[in-house]
Each structure stands twice: as structure tokens, then as C-alpha cells.
Structure 1
Amino acid sequence: MAGRDIKDPVTGPSIGRDNFGTVAGRDINNNHRTAKIGPGWWIAIIALLLAATGGSVYWAAEDNSDQGDNSSQTPSVPASREAVRSPSTASASGLLYADKSVTLSNAWAVKRDCPIDVYLEITDRGPQISEWEPARDGGVAAWPVLEWTPPCSRMNHQINFDNVPVAKVSGPQTQSSCQASAQNSLSNGTALDGYGVRALAIGDQFCEDFGPRGLVILMRVVGLTGSPATEIDWSVTAWAGTPAAERNTPPGGVVYAGKAFAVGDEIADANDCAVAYVSIFGDTPSVKYDRGVGFGKSADITYFPTCLGGNGKVRLRQYVAPVNGNVGVSACEDAAVRADGSSLDVEVTELRAGMQYCQYSSDLDSVALVKVTALTTSSPASIEFSVTHWKAPDAQ
């Protein structure tokens, strides 16, 4: 079967089995023949059947108790196929492996005609290097991927992370602390899209919460060679949790409750007077600072810092309405959809702790209650919010 696609038909004479361990068929002259099957034939047939299943028996029976680096014992399987065969992380929980080593190497890239990008893919079996970009579904890869441009391409600027929460961390990490750091980076605007290669230092650590697989990843830089780096040695630890696809919320149900985020002048000034764009209709509030007020940019909440002039301003996107008291999902939705549909601009000096706003997303059919919990109006200004996000109730 070597070299044959498992879907290809195996051509040959028609074969059928009788009840006595014989094979009945016809020869090339269409004469009926019967032949006994010896032990050697049984072994060959079993081997053929195993090959036709794509080795699934091997994967199911594999012992994963050894958490050490056993990459030399693992068959070479393209990443796209391994993603299909590998056991679902939904059935696993806790530590998958700890401190597995992998190196991004310029020499490795040169031997492969220097691809522009080299990919470090982190599966539930361990990290692996590839010159081929992993398949993506809706822009998201099947497994966490770190993308590196080797120096031989003359474009070595930064390490690129997945489009999921990634945070730089310090100190010892557990699954819960690593995941919390990654999630908190979304709410305070420090989440990383990438990291400059020249800024990397031995000891740097990055936590990633890869929701599509429910994986939490800790990546540590343990070695650097050259400047810019021609070799980057990583140590990778992975934990399993619940994939985001399984976190279903029914109509009227809470997606998250009382999650905090903050915006302010300090981070805006540190990023050349960047505007803060906040998304609240996801799994958690997400803050991203971006320089300039570009055409077409929009967010559920936008903070315009004082460095742009004036006192600073918060814009809450349509449909939005101020509310008072204890507000549930139905009342919040009703208040927002009855508003005139215009965005609401509020200057920082007009805000007070305890103010509340209801927002409705027609695109996602979701409702959010946004509360001001604390603020500083003097320079540098800052505002802290708390958000509860519901899926909208079914229409009555």
C-alpha cells in the first residue's frame, strides 16, 4: 500500500470468502478456483487492512503516559492529517506535557530553500516545525501556531502569534494563571499580536489561551543565538481545557457576567496617542489600541484619549441607551432597541461611577450591560468598566 492513497480502489480479480477459511475467485480464464489460505497469507491480509485504516489502530492504542520528548518515536504525519487523527482535547483535562524543547533555526530554513515563513505548530502531542502554513478555518488554524521569518529571508522582524489572547508573563505559571493572564490581556489592552525578534530575551514567557481547542500554552525562550537571532530555543508546556465550540449559550443565557476592562491615557500615550477600540460581544471584553482614527474603524466602545484634544471621550456604538437600577436581559434589550439607533458620545468629565448603558448587537443578536465602576478624570484619565453579556432572548 506504500504510496497509494487509502481511497484508491485495490484492483484485481473478484474475491469472496467461504465459511472454511478459503478464498474463492476466478482466474484470468474465468475458471472457478478455490485456494486454502496459509498463515503467511493471513499476516499479509491483516497488514493490508491496517494500512487501509490509515494506522488508526496505532493511534488509538498509543501510550501517552510518557510526557518526555519522544518525537523520535512519533511517525512523520502531515499536520493536517494529525489534526484529524489526534484525540480530541475535549476529553482531556489538565497537563498534556511540560517543557518540551523545540528550536526555530535559520540553518534548518536554509536547508529548505529559505521559506519566507517557518511555522512552529503546537499540538496535543508536542511542538513541531514546518515550512508549510497550517490549514486554517475562518482564519484560525487547527492548532496553536507561532510564525517566524528566518534571517535568511532578510525580513526578520517579529514573531507572530495566533489571533487569540496572548500575554507576556513572568514567574511560575499554572494552567489557571496562564489562562487568566491571557484573558486579562484582552481586557486591559496588552494582548500581543506578535513580538519583536530583537526584543526577545532568554527567560521571556508568553501565555496563549487557544479557545478553538481549549488549549492553554506556555512558551518560554530558553536560548538565543546571533543578532538578529539565527536560533531561538523554546520550551513549551500545554494544558487541555474545554474548547470554545462546546461553550454553548442558549437564548437569554449569560455569555459572561461582570467582566472588567479599562481604557485610559497611559497606554494610549505609550502607543503614540492610540485610540482604544473595545469589543464586548465575544467570550470576554477585548481592548485593542490602534494609532489614529482610521476610516472604517469601529468597535462596540471606543475611547478617544485626551492627547487628541479636549477631555477625552467614550463612544458607545448603536443601539445604546442609559439605564438605571437592576436590569436583566429582557429589560436591557428592550431599552437598547427602542433607542434612536445613534451612537452615544460621552465626555470623560461627564461620566460618574455607577452609570449604566445597555447595548444591543443586531449582527450577533446579543445584549450587553456596561457599567462604569471607577474613573480618574484628571490627567492621565482612566475609566474602568464592568460588562455582562447575554445572548438575546427568543422573540416573543
Structure 2
Amino acid sequence: MKLVVQVKLLPTPEQAAALTDTLHQVNIAANHVAALAFEKFGLRGRELPLRTLCYGDLKAGGLGAQAAQHVIKRVVDAYTTLRAGIRNGGLGGPRFKRRRKAESKPIAFRPDAAHTYDDRCLSWQVDAGTVSIWTVAGRRKHLRFTCSPDQAKTLAAHRKGESDLVHRDGKWFLLATCEVPEPEVFEPVDWVGVDRGIVNLATTSDGDNHRGRRLARYRRWQARKRAELQAKRTRAAARRLKKRARREARHARHVNHTISKQVVAVAAHTGRGIALEELSGIRARVTVPRDQRACLSSWPFHQLGAFIAYKARRAGVPFITVDPAYTSQRCPRCGHIAQANRPARDRFCCRRCGLAGPADVVAGVNVRDRARSAWVFVNMPDPAPA
């Protein structure tokens, strides 16, 4: 499986200036190639014709051979992504202003947009904690980086492919692609059902509860600060808004990483698989009060599920998704389904058999029970031919 390892660069002022100039020049070149591709081919830029048209100009402009190739490939990939987004309806129909705007002008790259490096223009010295990287001012050697011991071990053993140079909030990063072998998935003795929610971010069938109360307070505080900045309507306020949005996203990602790591560790230690509800399309299917819409739409449920899924794959833990219908209203003992079984958000009480308990734990148990049945069908042998 592919993993991305992010390391932080610690450049000297001279090295930082060379990296800044490099990003600016390669993105100026990318804008030039994108404009030429749009003029000649519209949104259907192709790599071979563009290489014939632009490679000589990029080399004459001071870019190295590999840098020029990567600039052309970035432009082609950007147009391919744009065409796919239009085809899949991501920019709306033909009458939508957003789609007409995207189709009417060439793609533009930010001055500090990330640039791709391969092994010809970037070499790693993991033991020494340094890299040697190509810049428009020449090769910069002994550029230090820092990362955790686990990341260094992964880089040394599994790094393969390209790396991206990223400039974010005044800091420099390298994002390296690693090919990590997947362990064989074991046969589970049982399942851990996980119910995701807003008040309780994740509740397992074992009763483990990962509360979101502190996170909710943090998000409300961020919302107040965001409203104050939006009221100013200045460019400085807009920049601070973007910075706060990135900080909030990093905080949510950290919380999701922590929860998913704990869930997978428990499942791996006990020899069980992990079952989640299939929540795709929840925003279109679920109607909530106006005051709860922002809370429902802003929390990254999909990210938490994706983190659990890839950590389970990396640990060899079986993972499955099940139908989420009525998991919070069904009694796991007698099977009775009724909205009245959940008289309050946190409480479940079956109207038929009297089973009572925390509502999220009951939902997790229902997810676990459905995973047991689903796993049987998934592993059922094919019928013998007649």
C-alpha cells in the first residue's frame, strides 16, 4: 500500500531563498505551459505535443531537464483532473457560472504551489538527516530535515517514487511516497462495531467511548473567531481566516488519527475485525435542524472512516462496512425496530423486551452483529458448477 511520509525541512536562509526562487520559477513556467496548452488544445492538453512545444523554452528559461518534464506533466495532470471534474458534474451543469469560468480560461498555478521531484533531482541521506535537492540556483546539499524515528525507518526501507516540495505557513516540507507491504489479513474471531456520531465521535461495541465534547468547544471557539474576522472584510483578515481553517483541519485530523489508532490497536490485540457503518451520502439523506447543519457538515466523518480503514489494512486487521439503517433504533436482543426505542439521544430502551443501555453502544453492537452476518456471506465458497 502507498503511504505519504511528511518531513519538515530546516533550511538555512540561503537554502530557503533558493527554494523560494525555485517554486516561483517553476510555477511561472507552469502557467506559461498551461496558457499555451489552452490556446492550442483547449482543455485537452496532451503530454507529448506539449513536450514538443514547450521543452526547449523551459530549458532555455533556466529549468533543468527533469524539472521541465515535471512542469509539463503537472499541467497535463491538472487539465485531466479538470476534465474529470466537469464530466462527473463536480462544477455543475453547462449553465453554472463556476463551470463556465473554468472552461473559459487556462489553469493557473499559485506562486508557491508544490513542485514534484524524482530521484534524479532529489536524493535522501536518511541516516544523516539531510537531502540534496535541485534548485534554480544550483544543487543544494546537506539540507537538513526532521521527522519521527518511525517515519525515518519507513523512509529508509520503503521510499519509492516521487516527492513533493511544499511551502506552507512559512515552513518547508517534503512529502515522500512510500510503498509499504501489506500483511496478510487474519481470520477474525469476532468483530468490533464502531458507531460514529457528533456528540460521541466514535463508540465501539465494547463500550469504549471517544467523546467529542472538547472538540465541540474548540470548534465553537473557532466559529466565534471566524465571525469576528469575517466582519472586518480586509485582506489581512482573509489571510488569517485561511490560516485558521488550516489549523482547524489539522486539529480534526489529529483527533481522527488518535481515535483510529486506538480502535485498530484494540482490534489487532484481540484478534477481531473492525466494522463501520456505510455513511456515504449522509448529507443528502439526513435532514437536521438549521442550528445543527454546520456541525453535521463540518466534521470529517469520512476522514475518520478512511483512517480506520487504512490503519486496519496496514495492521492486517479485517475491515468491513455494513448497512447503517436503523442501527440506533433496533434492539440487538429481540430485533424490535421502533423510533420510540430511543427516547433520548443518549439512552436506548426497547419497548418490547426492555433492554436498556447507552444508545451509541447499542448502535455499535448492531453494527457488530451485521458484520458477523456480512462476513459469512463475503467468505461463502462459490457454488459448484452443475
Give the TM-score range, shorter chain. under 0.3
Normalized against structure 2, the TM-score is what?
Answer: 0.22
- Structure with the larger strand share: 1
- Structure with the larger helix share: 2
Normalized against structure 1, the TM-score is what?
Answer: 0.21
